[in-house]
């Protein structure tokens, strides 16, 4: 963090805000993309292999209950994924983002009218066709709602990532806390809040494009 911090110091507050916002955005986008990449297929798998449900959802639930600062702390000593810096933070953010996407994929697919699934099977759809033509389109709205929740919470949680040297808008917040400077606190909090609102609005807009069926 020291190197990045020094860089930030030299460029005046507005410049810093832009730079840290971009860093923050990068943390969030990368974590969400990877989390969706893991949780979506896993949610689909859970609808096929019901016995796994309890274990996987249970694990994701437990992760969700770990306070974020503690989770960052737990990850630091781990080999490969641990240490100080962005990759540890991204790992933690992915773990947090898994549950909403996983759960919504799973419930979205299971919530489809059984008559619709039955007639798809009776018409001789293969499992792949059932998923691609029926289940994913009909669950899209619910899945997107999960992605939206995950994104908004990740934007918030990512501010804590600065504690382990991952950068982002949390840098301002921690610095503001340390120096009891509310301008610095706001310089971190306002862009993070704005980002969360924009993400919420944007993803909500996309969600509504999918008809509620």
Partner 1 sequence: MTPIVEFRGVSYRINGHHILRNLSFSLAAGETLVLLGRSGSGKTTALKMVNGLLFPTEGEVCVEGMPTTSWDPIRLKRRIGYVIQEAGLFPHFTVADNVGLVPKLEGWPPSRVRARTGELLEQVTLPPSEFSLRYPRELSSGQRQRVGVARALAADPALLLFDEPFGALDPVTRLELQNQFLALREQWGKTAMFVTHDVREAMRLGSRIGLLHHGALEALAPPEEFRRQHGDEAQAFLACLDLK
- Sites of contact with partner 1 (CB under 8 A): 113, 115-116, 118-126, 129, 133-134, 137-138, 211, 213
Which pair of structure tokens corresponds to residue 22?
Answer: 């971009």
Least Å distance, CB 168 to partner 1, is: 39
User: Rounded to 5 degrees, what are φ and ψ at 89?
Assistant: -60, -45
Sign of CA dihedral 36, 40, 46, 49: negative
Least Å distance, CB 116 to partner 1, is: 6
Least Å distance, CB 126 to partner 1, is: 6
Q: Which is nearer to partner 1, 42 or 120 (CB)?
A: 120
DSSP letters for 65-105: HS-HHHHHHHHTTSTTT-SSSHHHHHHHHHHHHHHHHHHHH
Least Å distance, CB 115 to partner 1, is: 4
CB 156 within 8 A of CB 92: no
């Amino acid at each position: 963090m020291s190197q990045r911090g020094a860089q930030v110091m030299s460029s005046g507050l507005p410049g810093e805000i832009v730079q840290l916002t971009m860093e923050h955005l990068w943390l969030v986008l990368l974590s969400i993309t990877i989390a969706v990449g893991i949780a979506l297929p896993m949610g689909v798998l859970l609808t096929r292999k019901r016995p796994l449900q309890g274990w996987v959802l249970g694990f994701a639930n437990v992760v969700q209950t770990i306070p974020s600062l503690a989770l960052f702390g737990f990850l630091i000593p781990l080999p490969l994924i641990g240490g100080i810096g962005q990759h540890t933070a991204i790992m933690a953010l992915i773990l947090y983002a898994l549950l909403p996407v996983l759960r919504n994929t799973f419930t979205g697919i299971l919530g489809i009218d059984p008559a619709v699934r039955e007639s798809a099977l009776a018409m001789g759809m293969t499992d792949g066709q059932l998923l691609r033509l029926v289940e994913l389109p009909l669950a899209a709205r619910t899945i997107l709602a999960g992605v939206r929740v995950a994104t908004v919470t990740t934007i918030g949680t990512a501010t804590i990532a600065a504690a382990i040297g991952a950068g982002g808008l949390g840098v301002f917040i921690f610095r503001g806390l340390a120096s009891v400077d509310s301008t610095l606190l706001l310089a971190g909090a306002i862009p993070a809040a704005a980002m969360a609102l924009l993400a919420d609005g944007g993803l909500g807009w996309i969600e509504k494009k999918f008809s509620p069926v």
